[in-house]
Amino acid sequence: MDGLMMNYPLSLVHLLERVNQLFGKVEVVSRLPDRSIHRYTYAEFYRRSRQLAKALTDAGVQRGDRVATLMWNSYRHLEAYFGIPACGGVVHTLNLRLHPSDLGYIAKHAGDRILIVDDVLLPLYEQFKEQAGFERVVVVGHGGQGAKTGLDDYEEFIARGEGDFEYPKLDENEAAAMCYTSGTTGKPKGVLYSHRALVLHSFAFALPDAFGVAQKDVLMALAPMFHANSHGIPYVAVMLGTKLVLPGSQVDAENLLELMDSERVTVTTAVPTVWGIILEGLEKNPGRWKLAPNFRGLAGGSAPPESLLRRLDAQGVSLLHLWGMTETTPAATVSRLKSYMRKLPIKQKYAVRCRQGWPLPFVEMRAMAPRGEAPWDGETAGELQVRGPWVAASYYNMPEEARRWTKDGWFCTGDVCTIDAEGFMKIMDRSKDMIKSGGEWISSVDLESALMDHPAVRQAAVVAVPHPKWDERPLAVIVRKEGVVVAADDLRSFLSQKFSKWQLPDAFVFVETLPHTSTGKLLKSSLREQYKAWKWETPGS
Ligand code: ADP
């Protein structure tokens, strides 16, 4: 027997209507490329998003058509986030940090018809426009200069959409947004988010036991809106009607901390590399910025080292750790102490907070070892597989990647993890980054986190290098803190407090900088390539 409830679609259109009805007075604050601040209200956002939806419809955008954005985080990007899906289109966020040839490939593969681009990014657009073949390009002019390129100007374009607009009747399973993985491991792959997935992800994200967001919070979308939906923040803000801060292109400590302080930001998310930059800003300028007393940070995208959590705590910034992927919208797990863990000794609490945590409601996870599902014992490692309503069921137009899904419907993440008896998942490594030494696996992430705890280390990467006897051995690449001297032997003996001898890196290399991906993660593939011919001092030992 079916329940007798309405079949009401979970769509972004409802969020757009609701924010105007209830929270029209709340502000959206953007930092523009010239550093000036732009402010308007959700009522204004609503009016302009609908204008964009109408202008796109009049321009021939049909249900399911992809409209790409090449933009920094700003109010006009937010309008694209809602205006494009409101007319039945799919907002495809292009990652402006990718190589132009990748961008050309992605836009072509996605079949993007229209592009909305910040004028400051036109030089980048020029480099892939031939390959991409957009039918129409709309330029967002900053500093009131408008487009001087013969292309459509965004303000003029949406002005044409003034007047009544009727939303198409959208099904909640229709696509609303699209984002390609940044290709850290292999070719970029398109993830197509449905209205339903984005809405349910927002609900779960805001829960008190997830990231605990309320209308009175001030959210900052610090993660780029072109990467994994800015960790979901724009959708959560509009759903709850919270004040939203969009920091634009200037993501240095000075600009970010000033905005966080002046706009009284209470919640933001970033990758650990960016938290490291913020931390250095706070430590170098004691008392200069006053963050809101209930400020909470969320870190995801790679594993935050324990020292980062400890040092941020000392600055009054509590960092909550989440795990997720472009394919999981992205938030899937959160590491929160359970009620009966509050009395644990400090050291153990940090150990728990460093784990990637337990799944949000409706996300399921398992670790698959070669002989079947690994027990939840905190020791047996396996590949992390997940499923749930905001986990991708396939990639866009890439049948050759179907092997990423198991026959029984789980997504294979490519991460290796353990799960303990409390259900806390711990990422050991990406399977491609694990180091296979004499038949045993060594986790590069564990070594890196431990190295970052050393007071002389600013950044650390550990990679597998081929070895004549052991297959692979770990090599550590270290960036030292300014003006500090530390030798390989110091680091080796520091690590030996935590690791067995066979797990210790055989070589330490000191460098000025480490390569990072477009989303601020260590680019291990490039380091592996760089050091692949490393001459071990005692080959065969
Ligand atoms: P990319 O493949 O370009 O890195 P994503 O941003 O989707 O794309 O990255 C997802 C991956 O990032 C995960 O598979 C995992 O390896 C890593 N990751 C995400 N969050 C964490 C975390 N909290 N700890 C460790 N690794 C993480």
318-324: strand order across its sheet: 37-41, 27-31, 243-246, 218-220, 267-270, 296-299, 318-324, 331-335, 358-359
CA-413 nearest atom, ligand 1: 14
| pLDDT score, position 486 | 93
What are phi and psi for residue 175, nearest 5 degrees? -70, 140
- 452 CA from centroid of ligand 1 (Å): 19
Task: For residues 194-201, give the mean pLDDT.
Answer: 98
Q: Which residue has the higher pLDDT, 32 or 517?
A: 32
Residue 475 pLDDT: 96
Provide the token pair at 100.
Answer: 């132009």
State pTM to two decimals: 0.92
Distance CA 113, CA 107 (A): 9
Distance (Å, rounded) from C-alpha 227 to C-alpha 211?
Answer: 19
Q: How far is the C-alpha of 299 from the C-alpha of 270, rounded, in Å?
A: 5
Report which ligand 1 atom has the smallest distance to the Cα of 330: 7
Q: How confident is the model at residue 500 (pLDDT cuts 50, 70, 90)?
A: confident
CB of 230 sitting under 6 A from ligand 1: no
Q: Ligand 1 in contact with 180 (CB < 6 A)?
A: no
Provide the sign of the torsion angle of the four alpha carbons 237, 203, 313, 456, taken in this order.
negative
Taking the C-alpha atoms of residue 414 and residue 405, their distance in angstroms, rounded to an integer, is 11
The DSSP annotation for 243-280 comes to EEEE-TT--SHHHHHHHHHHTT--EEEE-HHHHHHHHH
Report the separation in Å between the CA atom of 325 and the middle of ligand 1, taken as the mean of its atom positions: 5
Kind and range of the H or E run holding 453: none
Specify whether the backbone of 409 is left (phi greater than 0), alpha (psi in -120 to 50) or beta: left
Give the C-alpha separation, 132 to 125, whole Å. Answer: 9
Query: How much is the CA Rg of the chain, to the nearest whole Å?
Result: 24
Q: Is 320 in the pocket of ligand 1 (CB under 6 A)?
A: no
- Cα separation, 52 vs 207, whole angstroms: 31
Which residue type, as a one-letter code, is found at position 370? Answer: P
The question of whether 327 is a catalytic residue gets the answer yes
How many angstroms does the Cα of residue 21 sit away from the middle of ligand 1? 37
pLDDT of 541 > 60? The answer is no
- Residue tagged active-site, from 185, 187, 280, 441: 441
Spatial distance between the Cα atoms of 153 and 417, rounded to a whole number of angstroms: 48
Does residue 148 register a pLDDT over 80?
Answer: no
Nearest CA to ligand 1 atom 3: 182
Mean pLDDT for the stretch of residues 93-114: 95
Tell me the pLDDT band of 463, cut-offs 50, 70 and 90. very high
pLDDT of residue 149: 67
Q: Which of 364, 376, 498 is nearest to 426 (CA)?
A: 376
Per-residue model confidence (pLDDT) at position 304: 93
Question: Is 441 labeled as catalytic in the residue annotation?
Answer: yes
Kindly report the average pLDDT of the chain as a whole number: 94
Instruction: Please work out whether the CB of residue 57 comes within 6 Å of at least one atom of ligand 1.
Output: no
Please tell me the predicted confidence (pLDDT) of residue 150. Answer: 77
519 given a catalytic annotation: no
Q: Which two tokens stand for residue 23?
A: 């929270």
- Contact 302 CB / ligand 1 (< 6 Å): yes
Q: Is the CB of 323 under 6 A from ligand 1?
A: yes
Which pair of tokens denotes residue 62?
């049909």
- Out of 181-190, 220-229, 477-486, which region has the weakest mean confidence (pLDDT)? 181-190
Q: Kindly state if the Cβ of 300 falls inside 6 Å of ligand 1.
A: yes
Determine whether 502 is an active site residue: no
Per-residue pLDDT at 146 exceeds 60: no
| Minimal-distance CA residue to ligand 1 atom 24 | 303
| Residue found by looking up tokens 């000036």 in the block | 36
Would you place residue 539 in the very low, low, confident or very high pLDDT band (cuts 50, 70, 90)?
A: very low
The residue ranges of every structural domain in the chain are 432-530
| For residue 144, pLDDT beyond 80 | no
Cα–Cα distances in Å, from 39 out to 26, 42, 220, 364, 428? 10, 10, 14, 40, 43
Find the 493 Cα to ligand 1 centroid distance in Å. Answer: 30
Q: What is the pLDDT of residue 174?
A: 98
In whole angstroms, what is the distance from residue 416 CA to residue 437 CA? 16
Q: Report pLDDT digits (tens) over 388-431.
A: 999 999 999 999 999 999 999 999 999 999 999 999 999 998 88
| Cα separation values, 363 from 195, 201, 358, Å | 17, 10, 9
For the CA of 227, the closest atom of ligand 1 is 6
How far is the centre of ligand 1, averaged over its atoms, from the C-alpha of 519 (Å)? 10
**To test ligand 1's pocket by mutation, which of 180, 446, 521, 525 has the most ligand atoms within 8 angstroms of CB?**
521
326 lines ligand 1 (CB under 6 A): yes
In tens, the pLDDT along 85-103 reads 999 999 999 999 888 999 9
d(CA 150, CA 137): 10
* Chain center to CA of 196: 20
Task: Select the CATH number that applies to the domain covering 432-530 from these four: 3.30.1510.10, 3.10.150.10, 3.40.50.720, 3.30.300.30.
Answer: 3.30.300.30
Q: Nearest-5° angle of CA 457, CA 463, CA 469?
A: 125
Pocket test for ligand 1, best of 180, 275, 302 (most atoms within 8 A of CB): 302
Residue 376 gets which letter from DSSP? S
Q: What is the phi/psi pair of residue 488, to 5°?
A: -55, -40
Q: Which is catalytic among the residues 436, 521, 534, 536?
A: 436
Single-letter amino acid code for the residue at 47: R
